[in-house]
């Protein structure tokens, strides 16, 4: 059975230069589409992937990633904004890998487009008043 899933990979520091994705494709015969990647050598990296292949290979590939210290997050989580808490400070705008936040030039408010969100969780830690919440 072929499976296809969207997942977020969180790479530990100093791992972005290792050929993890190359090995994943070569050794486990998986197909992938990188939807977004934010990787720098000094920081934790983040990659949003659409990954597909035979279920058995997929499971082995995921095991390979986790054994190598990659934290995997499925996109079945839902991230919402608590509108009462948001102060429109703008801290989330540049860090969101999918540009789900946008400054409204007229009102100076930060709009949140939930349909763009891939539930990577980055804004949850970065939001000063903790307005971004993850729901399972
Ligand atoms: S970081 Fe939090 S408070 Fe600031 S604009 Fe984004 S959601 Fe609102
Ligand atoms: S969880 Fe936050 S940072 Fe991640 S995609 Fe959704 S809105 Fe953007």
Residue nearest to atom 1 of ligand 1 (CA): 127
Domain with residue 124: its CATH number is 3.30.70.20
- Domain with 31 in it: 2-74
8 and 35 within one domain:
yes
pLDDT digits (tens, 9 = 90+) for 41-67: 677 788 888 888 998 999 899 989 989
Classify residue 114 by its DSSP letter.
Answer: G
pLDDT of residue 36: 79
Is 119's C-beta closer than 6 angstroms to any atom of ligand 2? yes
Q: How many domains does the chain have?
A: 2
CB count within 10 Å of CB 129 equals: 12
pLDDT for the residue numbered 72: 87
Q: What is the pLDDT of residue 136?
A: 61
Quick one: pLDDT at residue 77?
A: 63
Given this model, what pLDDT does residue 79 score?
A: 86
Q: Which ligand gives the minimal distance to the CA of 130?
A: 1
Nearest to 128 by CA among 77, 78, 79, 88: 88
Which pLDDT does position 111 carry in this prediction? 96
* Residues in the chain, pLDDT under 50: none
Q: Would the pTM of this model clear 0.85, i.e. be above it? A: no
Ligand nearest to the CA of 122: 2
- Whether residues 15 and 52 share a domain: the answer is yes
Question: What is the CATH classification number for the domain harbouring 52?
Answer: 3.30.70.260
Residues 6+ apart with CB under 8 A from 130: 82, 85, 124
Which pLDDT does position 86 carry in this prediction? 98
Q: State which of 32, 58, 74 marks the end of a domain.
A: 74
């Amino acid at each position: 059975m072929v499976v296809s899933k969207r997942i977020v990979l969180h790479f530990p520091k100093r791992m972005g230069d290792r050929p993890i994705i190359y090995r994943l494709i070569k050794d486990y015969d998986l197909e992938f589409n990188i939807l977004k990647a934010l990787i720098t050598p000094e920081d934790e990296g983040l990659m949003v992937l659409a990954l597909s292949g035979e279920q058995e290979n997929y499971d082995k590939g995921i095991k390979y990633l986790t054994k190598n210290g990659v934290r995997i997050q499925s996109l079945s989580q839902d991230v919402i904004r608590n509108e009462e808490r948001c102060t429109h400070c703008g801290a989330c705008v540049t860090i969101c890998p999918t540009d789900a936040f946008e400054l409204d030039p007229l009102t100076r408010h930060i709009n949140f487009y939930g349909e763009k969100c891939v539930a990577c969780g980055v804004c949850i830690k970065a939001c000063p008043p903790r307005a971004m919440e993850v729901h399972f």
